[in-house]
Amino acid sequence: MPETFEPRNIIVTGGCGFIGSNFVHHVVREHPEVHVTVLDKLTYAGNPENIAGLPEDRVELVVGDICDAELLDRIVPGHDAIVHYAAESHNDNSIADPEPFVQTNVVGTFRLLEACRKHDVRYHHVSTDEVYGDLALDDPARFTEETPYKPSSPYSSSKASSDMLVRAWTRTYGIRSTISNCSNNYGPYQHIEKFIPRQITNIIDGIRPKLYGDGKNVRDWIHTEDHSSAVWTILTKGRIGETYLIGADGEKDNITVLRAILKAMGRPEDDFDWVRDRPGHDRRYAIDSTKLRTELGWQPQHTDFESGLESTIAWYREHEAWWRPAKAATEAKYAKQGQ
Ligand SMILES: NC(=O)c1ccc[n+]([C@@H]2O[C@H](COP(=O)([O-])OP(=O)(O)OC[C@H]3O[C@@H](n4cnc5c(N)ncnc54)[C@H](O)[C@@H]3O)[C@@H](O)[C@H]2O)c1
């Protein structure tokens, strides 16, 4: 299928976070004709080091808030697309303090949609499979684009709300939008509060990793590089007004992932502690990405989980200076929550 949209000058919100920065690297590497303006507030989760070293004539960083309508009015004109990654993204934080989630994820998306409406800019909305709630462990079903929304946490309900705004702005005002809902990402530059990097950095520090609940919760893992190629495919070839699910058939329960990390790091596979489950913890997520694969011809390339995990572990070993400053505060926050 030919590309129907050829962006030259895009805004990537949240481009200093985990998945956004991986997308910026992907675009710089794979699409030399494209200039990227990163718009990022640099919260605790945003780190300008994530895009340091990229060519200055290709990537510009604007530090600012997506909720700032005046700022958007200044920077959006002249761009042909916004790819929206910026969010408060951590479920545990949303349970402790939901307000920033409503502000950034809901109000921020509203501001971006208004800016797209005013300046006639193509919009791609990055969302999560968590909007669909969870599946029972013994249920063979997977999420599809038709699955009803049933979010469980303040985080997932704020993302679900933002998806609804996109649909309404598309239908009511004719915004040229697409939405993607992706499964759990792993890879370099992920904040150490998240499951895989937290376990890796604990093991590096000689701390026994911690596992929530019974460890049977299933997540559908995708390497962040595959997420990036999928978002690019949808941005350039996706049908306007459509939603595409992104997944790489990577279902694994948490205890299997933890044992794989321990094994890859040369530790006994039972060398971890159980901790109390978090409230409302979803049991199983699973994505059926048939629509994206058949309609747009996308395929994941990094489906060997063990090798993806090994390269991720190597990245955290080699980039201790990147994660070390956040480690003590992150563990202190978990300790307060008894996790
Ligand atoms: N992590 C996953 O596995 C996953 C899976 C599917 C979808 N997603 C979605 O992908 C997106 C990125 O997730 P992530 O894990 O990279 O998140 P992250 O927390 O690592 O990064 C979020 C980025 O957004 C920035 N930001 C936060 N509030 C902002 C604001 N008001 N204005 C401007 N910038 C702001 C932060 O500074 C940070 O750089 C989110 O929309 C998330 O819902 C994540």
User: Given this model, what pLDDT does residue 32 score?
Assistant: 97
Q: Choose one of 67, 83, 89 to mutate for the ligand 1 pocket test, by most ligand atoms within 8 angstroms of C-beta.
A: 89
CB atoms within 10 A of CB 303: 15
Residue 53's SS3 state is: coil
Residues annotated as catalytic are: 129-130, 155
Q: Choose one of 11, 19, 257 to mutate for the ligand 1 pocket test, by most ligand atoms within 8 angstroms of C-beta.
A: 19
Which region, left, alpha or beta, applies to residue 143 given φ > 0 means left and ψ of -120 to 50 means alpha? beta
Q: How far apart are CA 90 and CA 108, in angstroms?
A: 16
Q: In terms of C-beta distances under 8 Å and separation of at least 24 residues, what long-range contacts does 256-263 make, across chains too?
A: 257/195, 257/196, 257/219, 257/221, 257/309, 258/199, 258/209, 258/211, 258/215, 260/305, 260/306, 260/309, 261/196, 261/199, 261/200, 261/203, 261/209, 261/309, 261/313, 262/203, 262/209
Assigned domain for 336 exists: no
Assigned domain for 338 exists: no
CB atoms within 10 A of CB 27: 26
Ligand 1 binding pocket includes 43 (Cβ within 6 Å): yes
- Kindly state the DSSP code that residue 81 receives in the 8-state scheme: E
With a cut of 70, list the residues of the chain below it in pLDDT: 1-3
Assigned domain for 167 exists: yes
User: Given this model, what pLDDT does residue 3 score?
Assistant: 59
Ligand 1 binding pocket includes 124 (Cβ within 6 Å): no
**Which residue's CA is the closest to the ligand 1 atom numbered 36?**
46
Ligand 1 binding pocket includes 103 (Cβ within 6 Å): no
Assigned domain for 339 exists: no
End-to-end CA distance of the chain: 48
Which tens digit of pLDDT belongs to each residue from 182-233?
Answer: 999 999 999 999 999 999 999 999 999 989 889 999 999 999 999 999 999 9
Which tens digit of pLDDT belongs to each residue from 76-124?
Answer: 999 999 999 999 999 889 999 999 999 999 999 999 999 999 999 999 9
User: Residue 111 is part of which domain span?
Assistant: 9-190+223-250+285-303
The total of structural domains in the chain comes to 1
Ligand 1 binding pocket includes 217 (Cβ within 6 Å): no
CB atoms within 10 A of CB 17: 27
* Side-chain half-sphere exposure of 305, counting CA atoms within 13 A: 20
Ligand 1 binding pocket includes 192 (Cβ within 6 Å): no
Domain CATH code at residue 103: 3.40.50.720
